[in-house]
Amino acid sequence: MTNLILLITLTLLPAFISIMFIPYWTRKTESFGVSIPADIYDTSALKSMRKKYTIIIGVISLLTICVFLGYGLFTNMSESMVGWLVGTTITLFMIISFMIYLIFHQKMKQIKSTAKWGRQRTQKLAIHTQFRQQKLRYSNNWFIVPFVLIFSTIILTFLSYEHIPEKIPMQYNFQGEITNFATKSYRTVLALPITQLYLILIFIFVNTLTGKAKQQLSAENPEKSMHQNTIFRRRWSAFTIYGGIILSMLLSTVQLSFIYSIPQGFLITTAVITVFAIIIWAFILSYKTGQGGSRVTVSMDSNGKTVNRDDDRYWKLGQFYVNKDDPTIFIEKRFGIGWTMNWGRPISWVIVIGFILITLGIVLLTI
């Protein structure tokens, strides 16, 4: 149990550190969910705010880890209780960190209101006519690889159905011991490949929106912003594709363990290393690229006299984009890495509800 607690802690650390440094990874035209001129980003006042936020979240992260370790290591807990502890820890951390963010968000709004940057400079919405002509993402044809893996696994499962044990292992503890079985049937032996197919379809969806999401360029230097945003999308597209392939390989290996004798210790170790590697990869990618490619170095000067059109009114709490007049569904986050949805469009809610219903259906199928 001690090893399990330590492993979970090691997995949580990159996520906590990522949240600490979000203010440094956002675009230089945004600060704590508030739009600002790019040249204001490096002023002493905003530097101080970013530093304070990082320190506060860092202290909260450290306290959270200490409480988690203390409760997990010095309390006689079952593995099911460990799952409850992890869920509770993450939920409380996210609530507290969001409350801290709101404090800084409100302070940033006050600073902007006092400074009146928008009245002193020309506001423009930058649109580059050649943006969609760039190679913004890599082809979905790469997902042929996981599809071949999945269908090969399905065929092999059917061919070897008679050799699969009557009791299929469905859950293991950290020591590699089987803690839950399912009676063999075509539904149970195909549950994992069906889950794989669903996950790959999600990866395809994410990779597609990487290229289709709203064009968001800096009015101060549209050309530079276009280059940065193109690199940003390509890098995350590669992460999505290779992450999907690696995850598919892992799940196919688990499926093959129903047919062939594969040591459970090997499966668990491989799964842990794979998950941890993907988390570290995402962390490094966020650090090196930043939101919208803001940390990508491109040598182009800006005039500093033009700023992005102020659309703060559409960003509720600086994180939730609500604009029924904007036909765009997907848009870059203002605080964080990646994309969010336009909650002012009904189709956004349809997509989310659809994903939830399909996920619940997959879960019910595997029970």
Q: What is the dihedral of CA 24, 30, 32, 34, to 10 degrees?
A: 170
How far is it, in rounded angstroms, from Cα 200 to Cα 213?
19
pTM comes to: 0.82
The DSSP code sequence of 175-233 is TS-EEEEEE--HHHHTHHHHHHHHHHHHHHHHHHHHHHSPP-B-SS-HHHHHHHHHHHH
Q: What is residue 367's predicted lDDT score, i.e. its pLDDT?
A: 61
SS3 string, 243-286, reads HHHHHHHHHHHHHHCCCCCCCHHHHHHHHHHHHHHHHHHHHHHH
> What is the predicted pLDDT for the residue at 98?
95
Positive or negative CA dihedral for 14, 233, 127, 209?
A: negative
**Cβ(291)–Cβ(105) below 8 Å:** no
Say if CB 31 and CB 108 are below 8 A apart: yes
Report the chain (367 residues): mean pLDDT per 10 consecutive residues. 71 86 90 89 93 96 87 69 80 93 95 78 63 85 94 90 77 59 80 90 93 80 83 94 93 86 79 86 91 79 61 90 91 90 93 89 72
The C-alpha atoms of residue 275 and residue 243 are separated, in whole angstroms, by 10
Helix 191-212 to helix 222-256 angle, to the nearest 10 degrees? 170
Report angle CA 286, 16, 88 to the nearest 5 degrees. Answer: 135
